[in-house]
Structure 1
Amino acid sequence: MKKRTVIITGANSGIGKAASLKFAMEGHTVIMACRSLQHGSVIQDGIIAASNNKNIFLEELDASSSASIRAFCTRYRDRYGKLDILIHNAAYIDHGSPHRVNDDQIELTFATNVLGPYLLTMKLKDLLAGSNDARVLNAGSNIIKHYFNPKLELELDNLIGAYTGDKPFSVYNSYRNSKMALLMLTFRMADEFKMDGIRVYNLQINGAKMSKETLRKFTLPWWMIAGVQNLFFRPTSFMADSYYEICTSAAFSETSGKLINHRLEIMVPSKENPGIADQVRQLTGAGIYPNYADRTDMQEKLWVLCRELTAPKL
């Protein structure tokens, strides 16, 4: 197999850490894009030692910050100059936290989970286009199952500045919103990048053991819930293997713009008028996603919004 150059965001913990180790063990060049260089360097050293692969590099990247993304891309071009795989693994998921914004006054969940992947991909698009097998993977979530509710819609009107919504702010709801937006972005990017030979995927993560670093960010009630869930979730290496398969396997070399589940099956949209049996399969199975994600009008609205919010930064 050809050895590739891969960027993994949020690579110092959880699935990102496990994925970095997986790619390293297989002999690929890995750029670990982490917010904390101090913590990331410890993980980097461990991966190099475990894999005996010296082509493991650490770069500072805060996926919520457009300034950090721009600086990262400038350094990346100077130091590496090529890119085959881009994995958007980093995510803001601090359940129970108050409303927060980034330096551009954009709500932190949306900035990290949606605008970050959009801006980073657009800034590195030409390098990806130079690869003969370019792949972009967005880390999704089964939290989008909430959108089987026909009354639920993507919220794009309260993202800048102070929160002014009618209901109390919830990171959980914002996270749900961001993961649906990221799926829509996956579909739109796949269309936009088709002529460039760049394939784009979304992996629906249905639970993986959360790292201690992630758990420490939760407020007490959410920390307790997550602690119990961790007892039943698969190890991070399971989803890391899925990252690897999607980004390297010939089985996905002709696929793009698809949502893939933990069994590496391509998921299908829900029916317009599902019966009771269909609704049960939607909620209990892992093969169906809300057809709301296929709404091209919302994909267009999201695409334009991402372009507008990042235009001064491109």
Structure 2
Amino acid sequence: MPFCDGEFTKQTDETGKVFLVTGANAGIGKETVLEIAKRGGTVFMACRNMEKAKQAREEIITATNNPNVFVRQLDLSSMDSIRQFAENFKKERDTLHVLINNAGVMGLPRTLTKDGFEMQMGVNHMGHFLLTHLLLDVLKKSAPSRIVNVSSALHEQGTINVDDLNSEKSYSRFGAYNQSKLANVLFTRELAKRLEGTGVTVNALHPGAVDTDLVDSWPSAMKFLLKPAVWMFFKTPKSGAQTSLYAALDPDLEKVTGQYFSDCKPKEVSAAAKDEKTAKFLWAESQKWTGIKE
């Protein structure tokens, strides 16, 4: 039986609150939406694959009897798609209480987003950097509100390659992933400072090693070799969603910001994740890549 050291067991009523979860049609994202819907929240599932998303939505509504679950198209590998999504969302809703940046890709061979970004850095960090900025006005208006960034313990293995951020000179499929997860934590900590006094908090987390479709892009031999380990040691998606739910819902965290959680409790980040110079470099580069002005 897969282990789970952390479980979010507090009972909360999320009626009247609006949530947005990226990558919500499967895995951790779907389980996160399911639990929020059980608690009465209004949830927007922001997904690339609309067919899978609609099926997941139907399953969630059937399981929770909560009709306030909506699917909207979002491709985080396209700046145009992100901008269109944010524009449409703000026309539809004037409140957003919790943004959960959950979507991610892992271990891909080197591929590029529609805008020419290395895919893992593009989707895992740059896409969420842009989406978050475009929704900050509505998050501020809805305060107290929260931003939750799903990172990974693998951020500890990551390095921000200041001379080759887009992996053009050399590429490692897991090195690029680790870099993108470190970027999530650096972004979280820097954004928390910039949002001081607004009532909007931002925290990052490690969901645990979770058996999800993130591994679909891995080579077949690697998946075959890892299969016994996945069964024995990896969490289920439901267990993997617990720390996301903790960061998004726990009343005790209303004013907690700039933190990193694992197994529903605070955890220290790597030395690289505390490097303010690197954080400022990444912020400036992210602005250039996404076209965001201060």
TM beyond 0.5:
yes
- Identity among equivalent pairs (%): 26
User: Residue 292 of structure 1 aligns with which residue?
Assistant: 272
Instruction: State the partner residue of 1:188.
Output: 190
Measured in 1, the distance between the counterparts of 2:50 and 2:290 equals: 25
Q: How many positions carry a matched residue from both structures? A: 280
Taking the aligned partners of 1:23 and 1:135, their CA distance within structure 2 comes to 14
Indicate yes or no: 2:244 matched with 1:239.
no
Alignment partner for residue 88 of structure 1, among 90, 101, 110?
101
Match of 2:160 among 154, 157, 160: 154
- Displacement after TM superposition at 1:194 (Å): 1.3
Structure number with greater Rg is 1
- Name the CA shift for 1:238/1:312 in 2 (closer, same or farther; >3 Å): closer
Residue 222 of structure 1 deviates from its aligned partner by 2.8
Greater relative contact order, per chain length (Cα 8 Å cut-off, separation 6+): 2
1:209 aligns with 2:214: no
Q: Which residue of 2 aligns with 1:306?
A: 286
Alignment map for 1:275-286 (pairs within 5 Å): none
- Partners in 1 of 2:124 and 2:100 — Cα distance? 12
Q: Which residue of 2 aligns with 1:5?
A: 18
Other-structure match for 1:197? 199
CA contact (8 A) 2:78 2:127 kept: yes
Residue 81 of structure 1 deviates from its aligned partner by: 2.2
For 2:126, the equivalent position in structure 1 comes to 115
In the TM superposition, residue 225 of structure 1 has moved relative to its aligned partner by 4.1
Deviation at 1:309, TM superposition (A): 0.9
RMSD (CA atoms): 1.8
How many Å separate the matches in 2 of 1:226 and 1:142? 18
Deviation at 1:84, TM superposition (A): 0.5
| Counterpart Cα distance in 2 of 1:14 and 1:138 | 16
- Asked whether the 8 Å contact 2:148–2:248 carries over to 1, the reply is yes
Give the SS at the match of 1:257.
Answer: coil
TM-score by length of 2: 0.90
Matches within 5 A, 1:265-276: 265-268=265-268
Distance 1:141 1:235 in 2: 16
Post-superposition CA distance 1:42-91 (Å, at most 9, x none): 11111011110000000011112111100111110112221000001101
Cα offsets for 1:119-163 (capped at 9, x unmatched): 00000000000113210000011112325xxxxx31143344x83
Distance 1:24 1:122, change over 3 A: same
Question: Partner of 2:30 in structure 1?
Answer: 17
TM-score by length of 1: 0.85
SS of residue in 2 equivalent to 1:194: coil
Letter in 1 for 2:253: F
**Is residue 210–residue 230 contact of structure 1 (8 Å, CA) maintained in 2?**
no
In structure 2, the gaps of 5 or more residues are: 1-12
**How far is 1:313 from its partner?**
9.0
Q: Is the 8 A contact 2:130 2:292 kept in 1?
A: no
Sort the Cα spacing of 1:226 and 1:116 in 2 relative to 1 into closer, same or farther, 3 A.
Answer: farther
Paired AA for residue 163 in structure 2:
D
Whether 2:42 is the aligned partner of 1:29: answer yes
Aligned mates of 1:89, 1:222 — CA distance in 2: 24
Q: State the distance in 2 between where 1:87 and 1:68 align.
A: 18
Which runs of 5 or more residues in structure 1 are unaligned? 148-152, 269-288
